[in-house]
A and B are shown apart, each in its own frame.
Chain A
């Protein structure tokens, strides 16, 4: 009797994540095409229209990158937390909390210099995200409560809090009963370059570099890797594993909070339930596809931003926007399957 067994490969190609992504994306395009063909739409026409309207001009490219900004920042946060082998499913809530943090400071303080005021607001966005993950982080390090559950649950709490705020204390009387807070003043809008591209994207580049450095070249990143590999090894090495996990969670939450703050100051300009369109969840896909690599997250996040923009415009030719979601999700699925075969090989084993 012959059996097949899976064995871990000794050496994994360093570019395997990249190849897996390409293969996954190809698989996703094929799946998308099949769905389009079933609906009697031409895949080639649809995809080329998506391409044109998402990156075909400076304006559309700017929209795509603005859309990518929260995905990338939240994805980086997830990757930092994953350095200690923990999962942040709560980026969505942290994004909302970042925006709430911005509005809280905005309505209570006033600085004359708009540059320093914007800076203060971005800091409060970061702090808001960190506060949002504080309880899951404490529960994790003190009681070992599974962070996947707690970070997921905080999403519902924070979205509930947002609904309360925009229907209650922060409700804008001028919003014609639409549940939203008042708009922030133009003086705190993030400036733009090339017409539409927000400074938020530049901040995003900066934070990508920072996350890359933190994860790969800093002592803190090293200690996080050891703590993530084995808590016992960390204790043996004199590394406070719990402290590293706690800090990683706060920093990662802060990244997602910053995403919410930038989204408010550059796109929505007010707190409402529309601050995030599932960015926190899509960010998980982005981070997972790239194997938690910051530069990969930047690139794939940008592509996914473009896909969202492309997806939203193809409605004009009668194709559902969900085609973009399907492509995003199938990319992850395809990439994970392909990555599996990079990491493992199927061997025929003799009985025994």
Chain B
């Protein structure tokens, strides 16, 4: 590996007390496809944002073609030929393809637009007219336009943030071919950010791995590293604290049978043949990188998503055709991943948010008893030690931990038979995490059947009896946490086949 095309030296970026990037060295080589691997929150996106001028690092420097550069804004990045495709597309939806591609002032194909558009349409296997409006395109087509936009803006370094997350398997292999062509023929330097080992293997020549804001391995030739090595680098050593798991396990409380689900908007199969049972007193973990179907599964079990194939059985009652409320009456609780926005309503008071699950129990005809609701909140605050001094204050004035305790408390207070807890500790500090874990264990000991959806392997190993791994909407593996190897779980999460 000869000349470094782009190099970062000792780049550090902090947000408050958190080091998002810690002394990061990273190299890119001209005409190669690079992989950047790491868990959520490892610092991949922060690094890309530094390269594309969105963040300014506190320390460190960036060299492009041997020249030191200060990338103070996305504009400067684009002048230097660095472009990024974000996970959320940045296209003008109401404009045509042509207008989007020629929008930027750094555009280089204004004069012979049609010829270049034809050329790259061929490379991307894109069969649409340049006058089509963006909002009429499919997700896959939009993404092709996003990548094409970088080419039209003369970007030589193309940063792609999880480009395959929105694509079907066929589209993914198509994308691979296009990227290889771009690297070989146009000498484009490409960075692919992903959690999927399979894509690292198939797409890239060089791979770097990040963990906790640090670059733990760089410039590895992809063909020489094994999946196991990559997983070990990516996961590091997981501290496997554990709790007593010899509690009494009882009857089946939740039975999920043959769930298939196709997303209506993208027409992508999000869930395939999902089968499992959770028993009273048991915690079943679902491990997986976000976006592999977890939200859809939780929504189907809780009754929010109504159109699916298969059966949901709670307490021996088939509730597949029933709504949210009748499942709640069977004593199901759902702690959604999206705390503020789904679990709690922003702009609404603490007290209103505290009775979302039980308000129909506290009403007297059309009247909502003020006494009953404020007593309810008071008991929640006491029982779950929530800091919420003013019941009438807007919910978002509480800290993240207190919001989550209010949400958990509200859902757990009736000793539910079945609990679906989705990413219950994400973004919380250590003390809050412990408090939430203890709540779940207490509830388990009281006989609840708990389905715990998480990305945090430490949490899953600590709490659950059994573990399922979901990847691209399928349960790819199941483990007994007492004798499972954490790297095997990591490999399954990253989609590595045996």
Contacts and interface: CB of A to CB of B under 8 A. Distances in A.
A322 interface: no
A229 to B, nearest CB: 3
Given A10-B397, A222-B368, A226-B348, A233 B356 contact: yes
B366 A237 contact: no
B477 interface: no
A238 B345 contact: no
B359 A219 contact: yes
A11 B393 contact: yes
A294 to B, nearest CB: 16
Q: Is the interface of B mostly helix, strand, loop or mixed?
A: loop
B368 A217 contact: yes
A143 interface: no
A228 B355 CA distance: 16
Nearest to A232: B342
B69 interface: no
Interface string B337-351: 010011111111000
A235 B356 contact: no
B323 interface: yes
B356 A237 contact: yes
A235 B304 contact: yes
Interface residues of B, number: 33
Nearest to A237: B356
Contacts of A11: 390, 393, 397
Interface string B357-382: 10110010011101000000000000
Given A10-B397, A11-B393, A238-B328, A228 B366 contact: no
Contacts of B324: 235-238
B203 interface: no
A237 B367 contact: no
A10 B393 contact: yes
Contacts of B338: 232
A217 B367 contact: yes
Most chain B beta-carbon neighbours within 10 Å: one of A217, A220, A235, A237: A237
Most chain B beta-carbon neighbours within 10 Å: one of A14, A220, A236: A236
Contacts of B355: 222
Given A220-B366, A221-B368, A226 B356 contact: yes
Interface string B391-420: 011000100000000000000000000000
A225 B348 contact: yes
Contact of A233 (B302, B325, B345, B397): B345
B363 A233 contact: no
A226 B344 CA distance: 9
Interface string A204-228: 0000000000000111111001101
Contacts of A218: 366-368
29 contacts: A8-B397, A11-B390, A11-B393, A11-B397, A85-B347, A217-B370, A218-B367, A219-B359, A219-B360, A222-B359, A225-B348, A226-B352, A229-B348, A230-B342, A230-B346, A230-B348, A232-B341, A233-B343, A233-B356, A235-B304, A236-B302, A236-B336, A236-B343, A237-B324, A237-B356, A237-B357, A238-B323, A238-B324, A238-B325
Interface of A: 8, 10-12, 14, 85, 217-222, 225-226, 228-230, 232-238
Given A219-B368, A236-B356, 11 more contacts: A10-B397, A11-B397, A218-B366, A219-B360, A220-B366, A221-B368, A225-B352, A228-B347, A229-B346, A230-B344, A232-B338
Interface of B: 302-304, 323-325, 328, 334, 336, 338, 341-348, 352, 355-357, 359-360, 363, 366-368, 370, 390, 392-393, 397
The 10 closest A-B pairs by CB, nearest first: A229-B345, A238-B324, A229-B348, A238-B325, A233-B345, A230-B345, A232-B342, A237-B356, A229-B347, A219-B363
